[in-house]
Structure 1
C-alpha cells in the first residue's frame, strides 16, 4: 500500500506541476521571444554602438537582447555594395540563429539608403518585414518604398544634416517630428516610442 500511495503522490505532483506550466501566463522573457528580430544599421562614420539608447528602451518594453542585432558596417563612408553585402550576411545569420522567417530593420541616416539598397539589390525584400528609417538618406537609393516591405520613415524638420526631402519616400508611412536634430533621432524618447509602437504593430 505504501508503494502504491507513493506512486500516486508522485503522479499527482507531476500532473500539478504540468498544469502550472500550461495555465501560467508566459513570463516577460518568454513573451519577448515572440518579437521579430531587429537589425540596427548605422549611418556615415557611425558604429553599432549608436543604438545603445534605443536598445535599452526596447528592453524596458519587454524586448530581449537576443532579439536585437546591431551591425558595424565595413564602409564608414556608406559604400552601398560593401555595406549591403554586410547587411545581407547579418540578416541571413539572424534568421538562421533565431528561426524567424524575417527581420525588421531600424536604420539611421545613410543606413537607410544602405538598407534600401540591400532590399532592392540583394534579394532582401523577402527577408525584411519592416524598415524604419531615422533621418534616412533614403532617396540616395530610391524615391519609392519597395513593394512587400512596410517602410516607415521618421524624419525631423529640424534635421540640418539630411534634408527631409531625402527621407520621404512615395508609398512609405512618413512620420514628421519637430525639434529633434539628426543625431538626436537616435537619442530621443519620443522617437523611441514611435519605434517601439511601429515594431509592435
Structure 2
C-alpha cells in the first residue's frame, strides 16, 4: 500500500499521463494481403480515454488493406467494474460485430485498462470461441501500483490494483487460455504501469518496445508494425 504522499504523486502521474494528447499517426507500409481474408478488428481503449485514441493504428491497418467495415472501436464508461459490467458489454459488442460482418472470429486490440476488460471476456465470457488474436498495449495485466491513487472512489482503479479480484482471477491457472493467439507490447519507461513487468503474460508473444511513455505505444511506428505482423500470423 502506498503512503499518502506516494498516493498523491501516483494520482498526479496517472492523471497527467491519461489526459495527455495522443500521438500523431504513424506511417504504414503497403498492403500485404486482401481485407477479405482478415478478421474484423475490435479496439478496446483504456482508462479515461475514448475510441478516438485508435486513429493512428486504424490508419495503418487501412493502409495495409483493411476496409473501414472491418475496423470497430468499442466505446464504454471506464469507471465501471471489469467483471460485473464491462466484459459483458464487450461480449455483446463482439456478437454484433460478428453478426454484421459474418465473421466467425474477431481480433481484439486493447490499450491499458482495455486489456483487463478484454482478457476477462476471453477467459470468462466465452471469448476463447470468438477471438482469434488478442493484443495488449501497455496493459496492467498483473496490476499497477499507480491505480492505488484513485482506488478509493473508482471501481476501475480498484480492478487495476495489484492483487485485486480481477487481477488475481485473470492470473489464476492459464493466463492465456484456449486457442487464442496472445501478444503483449510493453515499455520499460511506462509511467502508468508499475512495475513494467506487469504487462507480459505467460504463453503470449511478449515484445518490449523500448523507452516509450504509456500513451506513445498508440502511435509508435515499430509497435504498429509489430501489431500488424501479429494479426497476420
Which TM-score band applies after superposition, normalised by the shorter structure? 0.7 to 0.9
The separation in 2 between residues aligned to 1:90 and 1:41, in whole angstroms, is 11
1:77 Cα offset (Å):
2.1
Which residue number corresponds to residue 76 of structure 1?
78
The separation in 1 between residues aligned to 2:185 and 2:221, in whole angstroms, is 13
TM (norm. structure 2) is 0.70
Residue 119 (structure 2) pairs with residue 116 (structure 1): yes
SS of alignment partner, residue 36 of structure 1: coil
The separation in 2 between residues aligned to 1:146 and 1:77, in whole angstroms, is 27
Which residue number corresponds to residue 23 of structure 2?
none
The separation in 2 between residues aligned to 1:133 and 1:67, in whole angstroms, is 19
Q: How does 1:80-95 map to 2 (within 5 A)?
A: 80=82, 81-95=84-98
Q: How does 1:40-189 map to 2 (within 5 A)?
A: 40-73=43-76, 75-77=77-79, 79-80=81-82, 81-139=84-142, 140=167, 142-143=170-171, 144-163=175-194, 164-189=196-221
The separation in 2 between residues aligned to 1:169 and 1:96, in whole angstroms, is 30
Q: How does 1:10-25 map to 2 (within 5 A)?
A: none
TM (norm. structure 1) is 0.81
Computing the radius of gyration over CA atoms, which structure comes out larger, 1 or 2? 1
Which residue number corresponds to residue 200 of structure 1?
232
Which protein is richer in helix relative to its size? Answer: 1
Unpaired stretches in structure 2, ≥5 consecutive residues: 1-30, 143-166
1:114 Cα offset (Å):
0.7
Which residue number corresponds to residue 6 of structure 1?
none
The separation in 1 between residues aligned to 2:207 and 2:217, in whole angstroms, is 12
Which consecutive segments of 4 or more residues in structure 1 shift more than 3 A?
none
Cα 1:43–1:67 change in 2 (3 A) is same
1:86 Cα offset (Å):
1.5
**Aligned 8 A contact 2:123 2:170 in 1:** no
The separation in 2 between residues aligned to 1:152 and 1:198, in whole angstroms, is 8
1:78 Cα offset (Å):
5.0
What number of residue pairs does the alignment pair up? 172
1:52 Cα offset (Å):
0.9
1:165 Cα offset (Å):
2.0
Residue 38 (structure 2) pairs with residue 35 (structure 1): yes
